[in-house]
Amino acid sequence: MRLAPRQLQRSGMTGNVPYYGGRLAPAQAYAVGHTPPQPPQPPQPAESAEPPSRLATPANPQQTMTSLRQLRDDGLLSETEFTDLAARLST
Amino acid sequence: MTSPVQVLVIGFDEPQFSGEALAELARLKDAGIVQLVDLLVVERTAGGELQTLPSPGVLGPGAGDIAVALLAESSEQPASPTRGDVNGFWSLAEAIPAGSMAVVALIEHLWAEPLAASVRKAGGRALEETWLALDDLDRLTQLRSDR
């Protein structure tokens, strides 16, 4: 019987293994330069002297590009992956 | 079924089904260690087409059906988009070289279910999972003997 192979997600015994072949997965590399949206912070009391959360700071594209270059130079990103992520950064 | 299931794809030039491996799997099943869920024998032609071959008779009728349903596209469903360029996915087409034969075994690791459940319960997530290569196994053996 002819068999048309189906694509399956790779997984490990204890769950999905995001790091593969000694390289960062594209999703991980993307996450390096993209801070996930943070849940809304509860209102601070007026007298609070705490500085604003660093997590709320929007990603700095220049810093992200530097991180991507570093990942490429370290061999964790291929030239193609770097180009792709850099293009996304500029959009 | 909640225990982790391993997909083991083993290539052969000419498979010789002596029953020895199946006997070992039966022993491991009796010991509650692993269970052979299904076994499929496939051939990949020089042109790249995959064909199922008859499974060893000792497995009985219906052998390979579950593996086919799991690992192959159903004729009743539209084909899933090709994601071969996306890491994190695999298929038999990538695992089995053209012009070769392979045995695909679905092996349920009964022993691992409590461990996997406890890892999940503790909030753990897998960062890497692999087997040691032969050289590293030799090194490990040496390290253990030195202790």
Instruction: Tell me the pLDDT tens digit for each residue of B32-55.
Output: 899 999 999 999 999 999 999 988
CB B103 within 8 A of CB A18: no
Pick from B72, B96, B91: nearest CA to B13: B96
pLDDT top residue among A37 and B16 = B16
Does residue B117 sit at the A interface (CB-CB below 8 Å)?
Answer: no
pLDDT at B107 over 90: yes
Per-residue confidence band for B69, with pLDDT thresholds at 50, 70 and 90: very high
Q: Please compute the mean of the pLDDT values over residues B99-116 and round it to a whole number.
A: 92
The predicted pLDDT at position A19 comes to 47
- Nearest chain A alpha carbon to B114: A14
Counted across chains A and B, CB pairs separated by less than 8 A come out at 92
Contact A19 B128 (CB under 8 A): yes
Q: How far is A81 from chain B (nearest CA, A)?
A: 11
- Residue B38, judged by CB atoms within 10 A of its CB (0-12, 13-18, 19+), counts as buried
Per-residue confidence band for A63, with pLDDT thresholds at 50, 70 and 90: confident
Pick from A25, A28, A60, A54: nearest CA to A41: A54
Pick from A57, A55, A64, A54: nearest CA to A34: A64
What are residue B43's DSSP bridge partners? B51, B101
The predicted pLDDT at position A53 comes to 46
Contacts of B89 in chain A (CB under 8 A): 7-10
Contact A7 B88 (CB under 8 A): no
CB A2 within 8 A of CB B51: yes
Nearest to A16 among B7, B91, B126 (CB): B126
ipTM value, please give it: 0.70
The reported pTM is: 0.62
Whole-angstrom CA distances from B12 to A25, A43, B95, B99, B106 are 31, 65, 13, 11, 17
Lowest mean pLDDT among A60-74, B30-44, B80-94: B80-94
Per-residue confidence band for A55, with pLDDT thresholds at 50, 70 and 90: very low
Which residues of A, range 12-51, sit inside 8 Å of B by Cβ?
12-21, 25-27
Strand-by-strand arrangement of the B34-44 sheet: A2-3, B50-53, B34-44, B100-109, B5-12
Q: What one-character-per-residue DSSP string does B19-77 give?
A: SHHHHHHHHHHHTTSEEEEEEEEEEE-TTS-EEEEPPPGGG-TTTTHHHHHHHB--TTS
Contact B68 A6 (CB under 8 A): no
Contacts of A20 in chain B (CB under 8 A): 87-88
CB B106 within 8 A of CB B7: yes
What's the mean pLDDT when you consider all of chain B? 85
Does residue B114 sit at the A interface (CB-CB below 8 Å)?
Answer: no
**Which amino acid, residue B143?**
L
Cα-Cα-Cα-Cα torsion A61, A63, A68, A72, nearest 10 degrees, comes to 140
- Nearest chain B alpha carbon to A27: B87
Whole-angstrom CA distances from B64 to B41, B54, B73 are 8, 8, 14
The predicted pLDDT at position A65 comes to 85
**Which amino acid, residue B80?**
S
CB B57 within 8 A of CB B64: no
Mutate to test the interface with A, among B115, B125, B131 (most CBs of A within 10 A): B125
